Amino acid sequence: MRIELAEVTKVFADGKKVLDNICYGEKFNALAIIGPSGGGKSTLLRLLGGLLSPTAGEVSFDGSKVSFDEKHLIQYRRKIGFVFQAKGLFNHLTARQNVILPLVNVHGYTKTDAETAADNLLGRFGLSADKHKFPHELSGGQQQRVAIARAVAVKPKLLLLDEPTSALDPELTGEVLDMLNELRNEGLNIILVTHEMGFAKKACDKLMFIVNGKLAEYGDSEKLFTRPGTAELAVFLSKVLEWST
């Protein structure tokens, strides 16, 4: 999948410029957005997901421009999956109902078809035993796996994830990342904001490094990790990788 960002800028109502003239164009299978906290990564991802509109600039996927008016955005959001950092599941619904709701109410599945699809998917991700539990009864890792199952149940071409493992214990991070890697291998396009440098390096082919709202560096993930082109990225990597082996 090819993504193009042309002079994308986002200024919030309080006047804070969160994204500053981002220009980017690359073909990717899995794109990791990394950078220091508060730099605008999540804002960029929400913009790509059609949850926010840019103040200026254009976004396009595979040559088709995203139209940022509410009527088109609803259609646009239906074609992509979005996974939040935490608490993205509907509190009042069980795991299974969370997966079923968008299928029935947004994508026009019959109840039976939606149930079959949900059961298959939850079974595949090892959640069969927990599918009738409410979000608060699930572990953080299970919650995120249900959220990913809900997002991919509608067969999106693109899956966006906003720090999907940052609220998890280390041993739960692995189970979520394994699941993502599996989906990626099946050809699903993924863009994720992450602090998991191992995953960004090994499982993502492309990398964007965002600092203070600016795209400081981008390119092949493997290459940037071994030979960062800017001093900023080199410093950032040396900090985040300091204690990893």
Partner 1 sequence: MPFYRLFIKGINEKTTLLQKSFNIVIAVALFVLFFFYSVKRLGLDFDFSFLWSFRYRLAQGFAATVALSLASLVVSLLIGFLSAIANNSRILAVSYFSKVYVQFIRGTPMIMQVYLFFYIVGTAWGIDNRFLAGVLILSIFEGAYIAEIIRGGIDSIEPTQLEAAKAVGLENGQTLRLIVLPQIIKRTLPALSGQFASIIKDSSLLSLISVIELTQTIREISASNFAIFESYIFLGLLYLSLTFPISMYTRYLESRFSYEN
Q: Are 194 and 200 in contact (CB under 8 A)?
A: yes
Here the tokens at position 51 are 């949850």
Residues engaged in binding partner 1 (CB under 8 A) = 49, 51, 74-75, 77-78, 82, 84, 86-92, 101-102, 105-107, 134, 136, 150-151, 154
Dihedral of alpha carbons 3, 160, 240, 216, sign: positive
Closest approach of Cβ 130 to partner 1, in Å? 15
Kindly tell me which of 141 and 228 has the beta carbon lying closer to partner 1.
Answer: 141
β-pairing verdict for 17-27 and 2-11: antiparallel
Sequence-distant (6+) residues with CB within 8 A of 26 are 2, 3, 206, 218
Sequence-distant (6+) residues with CB within 8 A of 148 are 81, 83, 125, 159, 161, 164, 176, 179, 180, 183
Kindly tell me which of 6 and 167 has the beta carbon lying closer to partner 1.
Answer: 167
Kindly tell me which of 11 and 101 has the beta carbon lying closer to partner 1.
Answer: 101
Kindly tell me which of 89 and 204 has the beta carbon lying closer to partner 1.
Answer: 89
Kindly tell me which of 27 and 87 has the beta carbon lying closer to partner 1.
Answer: 87
Closest approach of Cβ 7 to partner 1, in Å? 25
Closest approach of Cβ 134 to partner 1, in Å? 6
- Write the DSSP string, 186-211: TT-EEEEE-S-HHHHHHT-SEEEEEE
Distance of CA 56 to the CA centre of its chain: 22
Closest approach of Cβ 166 to partner 1, in Å? 14
Amino acid at the residue 64:
S
Closest approach of Cβ 108 to partner 1, in Å? 11
